[in-house]
Structure 1
Amino acid sequence: MATTSKKTTTKKVLDKDKLIAMYMDYVLEQEHRPKTVYKFCKENKIKEEEFYNFYGSFEGLQKGIWERFYEHTMNAINKSPEFESFSNREKMLTFYYTFFEMLTANRSYVLFSLKEHESQLKNLQQLKGVRKNVKSFATELIQDGNSDKAISALQQSEKVFSEATWVQLMFLMKFWMDDNSPQFESTDVAIEKSVNTVFDVFDNTPLERVIDLGKFLWKEKMA
């Protein structure tokens, strides 16, 4: 008597990275965001409740994607045993280089997400989480720098430095988006020059004075 055995298939457990990959594939293939969570889940053969285990909406998922870019960047950086021995300048350069490698690996999605809406302000809303993370990273750097300065007058404002770091990142992202050079070599040069310039100024001049000077020059230009 012949016997038959049933094949059992193990369903792959959905995790955050798999859900993100599904969403990124969808928007790049369809060139628009899914209309509803229901349709998105049905097309990807997952249950709605599985989606909501990770994100409450597509807006939350979009923010989560940028936060994962940051997390993967920091994980890659922290795997290097040499990183902790780097100077703050070297740490910032390493962060930018690694972060932009992450963006370049996902360039098609990044360009789509940052140009999805006509309103640039609406496009930037998805960066709220990564903004908080980047400012926190910059704050840790300046705290380390200040701990080496015994004279309080030479210490720098954590708030000002962290905000300046975010503004710098926004500038570099715009540069990278418009960069047509092979392997985005121009962006690498822009990263090096901008970081070195900021740290050269930062090491020798309180950043508040630089910002005040910038405001003064802007007013003189507009007068």
Structure 2
Amino acid sequence: MAKKTKITASEIITFYMDYVAKHHHKPETVEDFAESHQFDDAIFYEHFTSFKDLEKTIYNILFENSLAILKQSPDYHNFSKKDKLLSLYYTFFENLALNQEFVKQNLKGLENQLKALSTFSRLKKSFTAFIDDLNLETISLNVDSIETIQQKAIKESAWVQFLFIMKFWLDDTSDAFEKTDILIEKSINTGVELLDTKSLYNIIDLVKFLYKEKIQ
């Protein structure tokens, strides 16, 4: 069979995700992967430098697609900051669920190393840019250097929270990942409460939920 001479980056992504989901591991080499889909490996390198580069792109695309879907809705632009956060989380994790065979195989054994996973480097950049755009309010101290630190802390805290929810999602066996949805709501509520008020209700509610899940 003659090899294909034109393959798009999107097609390579689909081939790769399907391969990992089907075989439960990544291809041995780029050459083998290209050969199995009847195209020259040089075409792969026109789009990606390696499988790791490809994986970085995949997770970033899942995020960017989630955000693009939300922005297509006229109502989204009138949402509160909290509702924008909730909507993004729900949409992103729904996208993960649609691709769960690939994601769970790709991240298998790495559940406790997500924070240091370089595969998420582009995803983190897009995610923190989104948090930046929300312009979440901090406690005003009228000191520029401190408020800059606060903004950075918010982005880093939001990223850690995001990874924590992803770890929870990877372990979630509930129907339609309903427990992950509960965790998303409680986590966002708690985060907003910490920024805007001194209320402990949502913090206690989140701790109760996590404690219950842990002991079960």
TM-score range, shorter chain: 0.7 to 0.9
Cα 1:122–1:77 shift into 2, 3 Å = closer
The match for 2:212 is none
Pairwise CA distance, 1:80 = 0.7
- Match of 1:6? none
- Which residue among 25, 32, 38 is the counterpart of 1:39? 32
Q: Which amino acid aligns with 2:160?
A: V
- Determine the structure 2 residue equivalent to 1:125: 118
Task: Indicate how the Cα distance of structure 1 residues 122 and 131 shifts in structure 2: closer, same or farther if over 3 A, else same.
Answer: closer
Cα gap change, 1:116/1:58 in structure 2, threshold over 3 Å: closer, same or farther?
farther
SS of the equivalent of 1:38 reads helix
Unaligned runs of 5+ in 2: 199-216
Worse-matched range after superposition: 119-128 or 95-104: 119-128
- Could you tell me the TM-score, scaled by structure 2's length? 0.80
Question: Closer, same or farther in 2 for the Cα pair 1:197/1:121, shift >3 Å?
Answer: closer
Q: Tell me which residue corresponds to 1:202.
A: 195
Quote the residue 1:22 is aligned against: 15
Give distance in 1, aligned partners of 2:154 and 2:140: 19
- Distance, in Å, in 2 between the alignment partners of 1:123 and 1:32 is 21
Contact 2:111/2:170 (<8 A) preserved: no
Structure 1 unaligned regions, length at least 5: 1-10, 206-223
Contact 1:139/1:159 (8 A) holds in 2:
no
Relative to structure 1, the CA distance from residue 178 to residue 118 in structure 2 (aligned partners, 3 Å threshold; closer, same or farther) is closer
Check whether the contact 2:70–2:88 (CA below 8 A) recurs between aligned residues: yes
User: Which amino acid is 2:49 matched to?
Assistant: G
Contact 1:142 1:161 in 2 (8 A): no
1:87 equivalent to 2:114? Answer no
Q: 1:141 maps to what in 2?
A: 134
* 2:43 counterpart residue number: 50
Distance 1:50 1:127, change over 3 A: same
Whether contact under 8 Å (2:20, 2:27) holds in the other structure is yes
- Counterparts of 1:173-184 in structure 2 under 5 Å? 173-184=166-177
Q: Of the candidates 155, 162, 171, which is equivalent to residue 169 of structure 1? A: 162
> Counterparts of 1:15 and 1:158 in 2: how far apart (Å)?
39
Identity rate, percent:
36
2:206 aligns with: none
Q: Cα RMSD between the aligned structures? A: 2.7
Q: Distance in 1 between matches of 2:39 and 2:116?
A: 28
Work out which of the residue numbers 22, 44, 61 in structure 1 matches 2:54. Answer: 61
Q: Which moved more, 1:13-22 or 1:50-59?
A: 13-22
Question: Which residue is equivalent to 2:203?
Answer: none
State the Cα deviation string for residues 131-188 of structure 1 (Å, max 9, x = none): 1111111111126x47xx9874696722111111101101111111111111111111
CA shift in 2, pair 1:122/1:199, >3 Å: closer
Which has more radius of gyration? Answer: 1
Amino acid corresponding to residue 166 of structure 2 in structure 1: M
SS of equivalent to 1:98: helix
Deviation at 1:14, TM superposition (A): 2.2
8 A Cα contact 1:139 1:161, kept in partner:
no
Number of residues paired by the alignment? 193
